[in-house]
């Protein structure tokens, strides 16, 4: 009875526009896990025990905080001004007024809604850092969306719906959660239908589908990847898939810290700065949504071909001799390897752009790297943003002289601490810093080591101190300089699931970047800006496509860098989590992504590493890497893992033409069919199959391959779902699976097997497996044709030199199969057609009837084999010229 009496108190509202307890509105966490009612109410907060919601939560403001003052039409939409209601207030600061609202129809599939303060310019992300999309020259005809707004004198709202069926996609009209726009707190909410499936809002280690009752915090943070908290990158984008199979996307272009709470009725944004700059993408397919999103943030970077090979690294290789031993052991065990990496061990005292003169002496390193290059292999090194404070150390002295480091609020160099000790950090907002950074990379490349790519770490920014390490400045704020407190905002985002302070393990929020910009606003952009500068530097220095792999990312990072998912753990849980992480980053526009194979933290074991090598062979970015405190885990450490690695990496290398073509299509959008991802969730291909909406233990590579890995310890079988509406073939045997409609099958998975299935209707280009990508590229081309129920299939192949930034000679080839013949046609190209090894083998799955002969451009193909049991046709020694059109027929 006492509990009922106390909880009923929260329904008493304070009138006249003041804050009140609203248990049925979106809740903002006031306490912590385990807080009791007495302590909660002692904080002046509300207490209502409700499953799946915060029990202790802040009071919320009165409804309808803003009225529409004026509305005027524009060439592309409309412009509004809003006035705050005199009686309205916020728990987190005075409401700003007047506000402006611009609604702009930017394309047939994209609507832009921008809400800002009319009287004062607030922080916005510069478009030269993270793109805001092209400005339209004329309004779109027949847009896929409609929008509605309040009229003059009415309380403000806007809503977006799909034009084809009037389904509401985003609607802010609920009185329970009004717009709040204070200096350090902005809140807005959309109602939800209750049947949606949401994805995105990263970076975090969690299931792919967002979970109701959770708050998704967006704030870059260096941590050893605990589940369900904010990690290294910030991606305020989500994809909403409805039961109709139609999808749309929502991007809030804002770099400030924020919480996004997914409740029963609402999705609520709580942002601690900037403006509300929304983009809506109408799809209607999931793949189309991501392509439309990339039209705003930028297309993914096209990696060099070698980047798709296998990579090996470890934190803790003690010297160059150890590196040589690793390469030799890969070779003697006949395990493919393209690129050797080195963590911070190679540096002199952990200083960037140096070599340890004892363990990684320049003469030995030069010999080692030249040896790799002579074998068509590559070498990648790590660099961190922290520059050691060390007079006489050129990167520090040069940076001081050029004034390119981040400053504290008093104008002194901001002092942090990372691996080399006391450090300063480059300020990439300074227009001089990109050249400074390029000069350091160039000096290192030309004077010390001819590396091939750069791995940029610790760029959240990570700091071993909580804010300023130096005693030269304090972390409090001079009220004469700032109108608000960036280090202690009134609303605390749920950083690390515990409202951790914003300066924990990073810079103080009043640290100052060029132009007076505060870390408070720019924190989440550092990794993106370092990626831009690093990729540009490498391409200038080397004259080839860059390979940059960054830990911290933001919308637009994929145009310059790939990503690895950070300090994961050697566990079966993290083996599973690597799949939703990989798939989320496809949605975030960063398709070159992968997790540390076999796990970074902790000791792996033979079974785990076997299963991880099998799965990791299908990551877009495939690298084995672990900690110096863990046992060695190169795949040759166990004979069984070595054998498995030879098998799965040979398969990976044979599929690289398919992967490379997918990257090209994502980076260029060369076809009428939207293509933006390399790996993708099953629901991207089968959005009308509701079963696929929650699957994150299987994934597709492109539209043609289905991967069903083992993710549980001790398992010798896996339950794999095969979506409805198409045929499925076993990749290894070519057999047609006996499934009709959507069905789950239990597949045998001995320790050396990962199930891979080919979708009917696909043409998969390939090569022979090899020890390096360079060797594989010289082998003949192969096609795997999986016929659909009508005997048809299609696919494509992109060919270039594998490294040019803007290739002057390339070919895009389209394959079509039907009626017992296969045609090849160059449908796009630059320069003369590429001269490449010929098409040697065609394997056709699912043939009806019993063909007895085949022809290439009318000439009989001598290498002819037909398996009457499995209905598999194998044509060999074709010697088809890929630089011209041809036709292959069987009868």
Rounded-to-integer distance, Cα 798 and Cα 812, Å = 5
pLDDT number for residue 494: 96
Q: How confident is the model at residue 16 (pLDDT cuts 50, 70, 90)?
A: very low
Rounded-to-integer distance, Cα 166 and Cα 145, Å = 8
**DSSP-derived secondary structure letter, 54:** -
pLDDT above 80 (res 5): no
pLDDT tens for 383-415 read 999 999 999 999 999 999 999 999 999 999 999
- Mean pLDDT for the stretch of residues 71-96: 93
DSSP H/E element including 607: helix 606-616
Q: Which of 59-73, 127-141, 284-298 has the highest mean pLDDT?
A: 284-298
**What mean pLDDT, rounded, does the chain reach?**
93
Rounded-to-integer distance, Cα 880 and Cα 236, Å = 48
Rounded-to-integer distance, Cα 447 and Cα 873, Å = 56
pLDDT tens for 771-821 read 999 999 999 999 999 999 999 999 999 999 999 999 999 999 999 999 999
Q: How confident is the model at residue 24 (pLDDT cuts 50, 70, 90)?
A: low
pLDDT number for residue 60: 65
pLDDT above 70 (res 681): yes
C-alpha 650 chain-centroid distance? 26
pLDDT above 70 (res 10): no
Token pair recorded at residue 620 = 């877009």
pLDDT above 50 (res 4): no
Sheet holding 416-418, edge to edge: 387-388, 421-424, 416-418
- Residue 613 half-sphere exposure toward CB, CA atoms < 13 A: 32
505 close to 464: Cβ distance less than 8 angstroms: yes
217 close to 233: Cβ distance less than 8 angstroms: no
Q: Which of 84-88, 550-554, 694-698 has the lowest mean pLDDT?
A: 84-88
Q: How confident is the model at residue 675 (pLDDT cuts 50, 70, 90)?
A: confident
Q: Which of 47-51, 348-352, 453-457, 552-556 has the lowest mean pLDDT?
A: 47-51
pLDDT number for residue 2: 28
CA distances from 393 to 348, 353, 387, 400, 556 (A): 11, 10, 9, 11, 33
Rounded-to-integer distance, Cα 591 and Cα 589, Å = 6
Extended beta strands in 96-176, E state: 99-105, 110-117, 145-149, 158-162, 168-171
Active-site position among 183, 338, 352, 567: 567
Nearest to residue 330, comparing CAs of 315, 342, 316, 313? 313
Measured between its terminal Cα atoms, the distance across the chain in Å is 83
pLDDT above 90 (res 447): yes
pLDDT tens for 725-753 read 899 999 999 999 988 779 999 999 999 99
CA distances from 450 to 225, 311, 375, 480 (A): 33, 17, 15, 50
The set of residues, in sequence order, having a beta carbon less than 8 Å from that of 370 and lying 6+ positions away, is 450
The answer, yes or no, to whether the previous bond of 264 is cis (omega within 30 of 0) is no
Active-site position among 457, 530, 581, 614: 457
DSSP H/E element including 366: helix 362-374
Q: How confident is the model at residue 20 (pLDDT cuts 50, 70, 90)?
A: low
Extended beta strands in 119-157, E state: 145-149
pLDDT tens for 451-500 read 999 999 999 999 999 999 974 444 343 434 456 789 999 999 999 999 99
Sheet holding 66-74, edge to edge: 66-74, 77-84, 99-105, 110-117, 276-281, 247-252, 235-241, 197-202
Active site residue 370: no
Token pair recorded at residue 662 = 């997918």
pLDDT number for residue 17: 40
Active-site position among 106, 240, 460, 614: 460
DSSP string, 698-767: SEEETTTEEE----STT-SEEEEEE-TTS-EEETTT-PBP---SSEEEEEE--TT---EEEETTEEEEE-
Backbone Cα Rg of the chain? 28
The set of residues, in sequence order, having a beta carbon less than 8 Å from that of 735 and lying 6+ positions away, is 729, 870
pLDDT above 50 (res 12): no
- Mean pLDDT for the stretch of residues 215-241: 97
Q: How confident is the model at residue 353 (pLDDT cuts 50, 70, 90)?
A: very high
Q: How confident is the model at residue 18 (pLDDT cuts 50, 70, 90)?
A: very low
Rounded-to-integer distance, Cα 152 and Cα 656, Å = 58
pLDDT above 50 (res 703): yes
pLDDT number for residue 282: 98
pLDDT above 80 (res 694): yes
Active site residue 460: yes
Active site residue 567: yes
**DSSP-derived secondary structure letter, 348:** S
Output the pTM of the full model: 0.93
pLDDT above 60 (res 758): yes
CA distances from 592 to 130, 238, 834, 876 (A): 18, 19, 25, 33
pLDDT tens for 583-632 read 999 999 999 999 999 999 999 999 999 999 999 999 999 999 999 999 99
Rounded-to-integer distance, Cα 712 and Cα 612, Å = 11
The set of residues, in sequence order, having a beta carbon less than 8 Å from that of 230 and lying 6+ positions away, is 203, 204, 216, 217, 218, 219, 220, 221, 495, 496
pLDDT tens for 517-561 read 999 999 999 999 999 999 999 999 999 999 999 999 999 999 999
pLDDT above 90 (res 442): yes
Q: How confident is the model at residue 671 (pLDDT cuts 50, 70, 90)?
A: low
Q: Helices 433-447 and 394-402, interaxial angle, to 10°?
A: 160
pLDDT number for residue 174: 86
Token pair recorded at residue 532 = 């831009």
The set of residues, in sequence order, having a beta carbon less than 8 Å from that of 690 and lying 6+ positions away, is 243
Rounded-to-integer distance, Cα 261 and Cα 269, Å = 7
């Amino acid at each position: 009875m006492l509990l009922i009496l106390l909880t009923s108190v929260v329904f008493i509202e304070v009138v006249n526009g003041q804050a009140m307890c609203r248990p049925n509105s979106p809740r903002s966490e006031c306490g912590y896990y385990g807080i009791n009612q007495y302590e909660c109410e002692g904080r002046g907060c509300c207490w209502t025990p409700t499953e799946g919601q915060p029990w202790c939560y802040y009071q919320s403001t009165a409804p309808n905080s803003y009225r529409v003052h004026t509305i005027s039409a524009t060439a592309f939409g409309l412009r509004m001004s809003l006035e705050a209601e005199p009686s309205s207030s916020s728990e987190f600061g005075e409401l700003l007024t007047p506000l402006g609202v611009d609604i702009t129809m930017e394309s047939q599939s994209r609507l832009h809604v921008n809400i800002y303060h009319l009287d004062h310019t607030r922080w916005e992300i510069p478009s030269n850092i993270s793109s805001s999309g092209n400005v339209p020259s004329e309004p779109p005809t027949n847009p896929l969306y409609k929008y509605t707004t309040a009229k003059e004198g009415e309380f403000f709202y806007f809503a977006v719906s799909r034009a084809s069926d009037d389904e509401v996609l985003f609607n802010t009209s609920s009185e329970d959660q009004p717009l709040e726009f204070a200096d350090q707190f902005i809140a807005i909410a959309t109602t939800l239908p209750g049947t949606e499936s949401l994805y995105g809002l990263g970076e975090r280690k969690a299931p792919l589908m967002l979970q109701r009752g959770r708050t998704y915090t967006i704030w870059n943070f260096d941590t050893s990847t605990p589940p369900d908290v904010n990690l290294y990158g910030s991606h305020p984008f989500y994809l909403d898939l409805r039961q109709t199979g139609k999808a749309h996307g929502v991007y809030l272009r804002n770099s400030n810290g924020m919480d996004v709470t997914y409740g029963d009725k609402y999705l609520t944004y709580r942002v601690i700065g900037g403006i509300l700059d929304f983009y809506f993408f109408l799809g209607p397919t999931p793949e189309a949504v991501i392509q439309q999103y990339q039209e705003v943030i930028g297309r993914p970077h096209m990696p060099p071909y070698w980047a798709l090979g296998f990579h090996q690294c470890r934190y803790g290789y003690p010297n160059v001799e150890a590196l040589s031993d690793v390469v030799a052991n890969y070779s003697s065990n006949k395990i493919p390897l393209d690129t050797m990496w080195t963590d911070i061990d190679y540096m002199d005292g952990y200083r960037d752009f140096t070599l340890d003169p004892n363990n990684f002496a320049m003469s030995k390193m030069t010999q080692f790297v030249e040896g790799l290059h002579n074998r068509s292999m590559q070498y990648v090194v790590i660099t961190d943003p922290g520059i050691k404070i060390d007079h006489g150390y050129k990167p520090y002295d040069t940076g001081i002289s050029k004034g390119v480091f981040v400053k504290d609020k008093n104008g002194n160099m901001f002092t942090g601490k990372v691996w080399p000790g006391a450090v300063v950090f480059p300020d990439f907002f300074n227009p001089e810093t990109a050249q400074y950074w390029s000069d350091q990379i160039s000096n290192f490349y030309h004077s010390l080591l001819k590396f091939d790519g750069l791995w940029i770490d610790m760029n959240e920014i990570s700091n071993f101190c909580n804010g300023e390490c130096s005693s030269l400045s304090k972390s409090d704020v001079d009220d004469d300089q700032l109108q608000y407190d960036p280090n202690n905002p009134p609303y605390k985002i749920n950083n690390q699931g515990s409202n951790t302070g914003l300066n924990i393990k990073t810079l103080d929020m009043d640290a100052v970047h060029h132009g007076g910009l505060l870390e408070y606003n720019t924190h989440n952009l550092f990794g993106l800006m370092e990626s831009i500068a690093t990729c540009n530097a490498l391409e200038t220095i080397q004259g080839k496509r860059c390979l940059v792999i960054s830990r911290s990312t933001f919308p637009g990072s994929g145009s310059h860098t790939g990503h690895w998912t950070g300090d994961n753990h050697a566990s079966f849980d993290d083996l599973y989590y690597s799949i939703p992480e990989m798939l989320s980053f496809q949605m975030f526009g960063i398709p070159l992504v992968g997790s540390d194979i076999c796990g970074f933290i902790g000791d792996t074991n033979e079974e785990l590493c076997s299963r991880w090598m099998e799965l990791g062979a299908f990551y877009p970015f495939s690298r084995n890497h672990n900690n110096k405190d863990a046992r060695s885990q190169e795949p040759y450490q166990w004979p069984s893992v070595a054998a498995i690695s030879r098998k799965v990496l040979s398969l990976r290398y044979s599929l690289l033409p398919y992967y490379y073509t997918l990257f090209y299509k994502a980076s260029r959008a060369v076809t009428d069919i939207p293509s933006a991802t390399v790996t993708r969730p099953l629901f991207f291909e089968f959005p009308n199959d509701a079963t696929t909406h929650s699957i994150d233990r299987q994934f597709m590579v492109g539209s043609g391959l289905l991967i069903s890995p083992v993710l549980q310890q001790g398992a010798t079988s896996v339950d794999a779902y095969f979506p409805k509406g198409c045929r499925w073939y076993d990749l290894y045997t070519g057999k047609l699976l006996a499934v009709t409609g959507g069905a789950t099958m239990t597949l045998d998975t001995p320790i050396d097997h990962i199930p891979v299935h080919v979708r009917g209707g696909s043409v998969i280009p390939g090569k022979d497996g090899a020890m390096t990508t360079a060797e594989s590229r010289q082998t003949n081309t192969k096609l795997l044709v999986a016929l659909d129920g009508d005997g048809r299939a299609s696919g494509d192949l992109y060919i270039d030199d594998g490294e040019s930034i803007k290739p002057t000679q390339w070919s895009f080839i389209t394959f079509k199969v039907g009626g017992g013949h296969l045609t090849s046609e160059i449908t796009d190209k630059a320069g003369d057609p590429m001269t490449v090894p010929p098409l040697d083998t065609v394997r056709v799955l699912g043939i009806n009837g019993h063909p007895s002969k085949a022809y290439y451009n009318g000439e009989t193909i001598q290498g002819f084999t037909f398996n009457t049991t499995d209905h598999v046709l194998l044509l060999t020694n074709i010697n088809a010229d890929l630089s011209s059109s041809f036709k292959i027929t069987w009868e």
